[in-house]
Amino acid sequence: MNEFLLDTLIIVIKIGVVFGLVIGSVPVLVLAERKVLGWMQVRPGPNRVGPWGLLQTLVDGAKVFFKENIIPDGVEPLTYRLAPLLVILPVLIAASVIPFGPPVKIAGREIPLAIADFDLSLLFFFAVATLSVYGIVLAGWSSNNKWSLMGGLRSSAQMFSYEITLSLSIVGILLTSGTFRLTAIVGQQSGGFWHWNVFLQPLGFVLFLLAAIAEVNRTPFDLPEAESELTGGFHTEYSGMRFVMFYMSEYSSVFVMSSLIATLFFGGYNPPFPYTFGTSWFDGAIGLFWLLAKIGALVFFFIWLRGTLPRLRYDELMMLGWKILFPLAFLNLIFTAILVALNWPGWLLGLVGAGALVLTDLVVSQILWRRRRAAG
């Protein structure tokens, strides 16, 4: 067969797999969220449609598909229609750089299991994933509704504030691994869980996790759509399929963000025990399995978080982002840079990070406690 055609075919298949995983994860995540939240609230969650409620989200999807697409009076027609697409597309594009398995050899050619595997893939992820804030702002602005506008503006302020922490907190990983290429970062974490970056960068991991939750707009940082304050935020005026696009983007961005966290900090597709990947398709499947398992654990954590913590107030959110997370990310960057420059061993780096985390925790809780006592 023609070389070019074969290359194209491989790319198309990889796109199909990743697209299917990200979109297919949405109903699973929605059901998992409703089930787990239900259990945490001592109730069974959806259990009427299908065995164990498994078909609930499919039926909901079918329902929403037949609903009327209402466009309210006074909206900006073009942006109103465009905004849902602008929210969901960046998520899907960002997913293209996540390596979902080790390189496999099929018919004599080595195929990296990521749609795009290039030198600046991590930077590309952040560049693209941030674009979805445009969709949210435009949705809020074009809806001709004050609550939507408030939600959109809150969202932009929040995302810009946490974007800085998000990017700064991974610079530590870039320093220790010395590359922007996601496949290389994953490759360096092979050979057992003690090689994972989370032990090298505990402070960076916590900062990244917090900023990532804020980036994907989940509780306790879900201010753009704070129901009790903004009646639904930027998607108040949306209905039918357009609303579902926001919904889908929310859950698929949780999936994609979890896969990035797994890739950066938990060894990506590497199993937690030493294992040398061959190049057969079976090893590719093993890699995919471990990546999905890690994503599942992270998604559970996201849901658990939602079931546990209440939403932050807006000024608390900004204070946390700018006065605590941002300086800490800088601190993390500085001591990682010094330790890497001095060529100190990795376990020391992890120890310093964990120490810094505990110290910050002490200081912050002390400040909060004093402030509360002063307030009476």
Partner 1 sequence: MLLVELIKGFSVTLRHMFRRRVTVQYPEQRRRDAPIFRGRHRLQRYADGLERCVGCALCASVCPSEAIYLEAAENDPTNPVSPGERYAKVYQIHLLRCIYCGFCEEACPEDAIVMGPEYELAADARAKCVISKKDMLTPREAGFGDYETFPAPRIG
Q: Which residues bind partner 1 (CB under 8 A)?
A: 36, 39-44, 304, 307-309, 357-358, 361-362, 364-365, 368
Q: Which is nearer to partner 1, 44 or 274 (CB)?
A: 44
Shortest separation between residue 18's beta carbon and partner 1, angstroms: 31
Q: Which is nearer to partner 1, 41 or 228 (CB)?
A: 41
Q: Is 191 exposed, middle or buried (0-12, 13-18, 19+ CB in 10 A)?
A: middle
Residue 123 CA to its chain's centroid (Å): 15
Q: Which is nearer to partner 1, 67 or 370 (CB)?
A: 370
**Residues in contact with 186: Cβ distance below 8 Å, sequence separation at least 6, in sequence order:** 99, 263, 267, 268, 269, 270
Q: Which is nearer to partner 1, 34 or 81 (CB)?
A: 34
Shortest separation between residue 29's beta carbon and partner 1, angstroms: 17
Shortest separation between residue 43's beta carbon and partner 1, angstroms: 5
Shortest separation between residue 131's beta carbon and partner 1, angstroms: 32
Task: Please check whether residue 84 is in contact with residue 245, taking contact to mean a CB–CB distance below 8 angstroms.
Answer: yes
Question: What is the rounded distance in angstroms from the CA atom of residue 289 to the CA atom of residue 280?
Answer: 15
Task: Enumerate the H helices of the chain as residue ranges.
Answer: 3-40, 56-65, 77-94, 121-129, 132-142, 146-177, 182-188, 197-200, 202-215, 227-230, 240-265, 281-308, 314-319, 326-341, 346-375
What phi and psi, each to the nearest 5 degrees, are found at residue 208? -65, -40
Task: Please check whether residue 231 is in contact with residue 138, taking contact to mean a CB–CB distance below 8 angstroms.
Answer: no
Shortest separation between residue 358's beta carbon and partner 1, angstroms: 7
Shortest separation between residue 220's beta carbon and partner 1, angstroms: 11
Question: What is the rounded distance in angstroms from the CA atom of residue 253 to the CA atom of residue 29?
Answer: 11
Element (H, E) at 106: strand 101-106
Q: Which is nearer to partner 1, 42 or 342 (CB)?
A: 42
Q: Which is nearer to partner 1, 69 or 365 (CB)?
A: 365
Q: Which is nearer to partner 1, 43 or 373 (CB)?
A: 43
Shortest separation between residue 309's beta carbon and partner 1, angstroms: 7
Q: Which is nearer to partner 1, 97 or 357 (CB)?
A: 357
Task: Please check whether residue 175 is in contact with residue 245, taking contact to mean a CB–CB distance below 8 angstroms.
Answer: no
Shortest separation between residue 303's beta carbon and partner 1, angstroms: 10
